[in-house]
Amino acid sequence: MVEYAAARAGLGMSMLPCFLGDAAPELVRLADSTQASGELWVLTHPDLRYSVRIKLFMEHITQAVKKHANRLAGVIE
C-alpha cells in the first residue's frame, strides 16, 4: 500500500485503517474528526450466492469482523 509506506517514510499524512496505523510505532494517530464509518459489504456473483462454500465464507468473515470489531473501529485497548 503506497499511502502506508509513504506515511511510514515521513512523507505526509494518510487516512489508514486503524489496524495498520496503530501497528506502526512511527505513526501517530491524529484527531478522529475525519473518522470514516459505514458498512462492510461482501459481494458475490448471483449464481454463487447460495453455494455452501460462499455461505461458509460469509459466516466466517462475519464472525472474524465481530471478533475484531474494536480493533477495526480503532478502539485503543
Q: How many domains does the chain have?
A: 2
Q: What is the pLDDT of residues 19-73, one digit of tens each?
A: 888 889 999 888 765 566 677 788 889 999 889 999 999 999 999 988 988 877 7
d(CA 24, CA 44): 33
Residue 77 lies in domain: 38-77
Q: Are residues 22 and 55 in the same domain?
A: no
| pTM of the complete model beyond 0.75 | no
% helix, strand, coil for the chain, step of 5: 50, 0, 50
Residue, of 15 and 57, whose pLDDT is higher: 57
Per-residue confidence at 11, pLDDT binned at 50, 70, 90?
very high
Q: Are residues 42 and 75 in the same domain?
A: yes
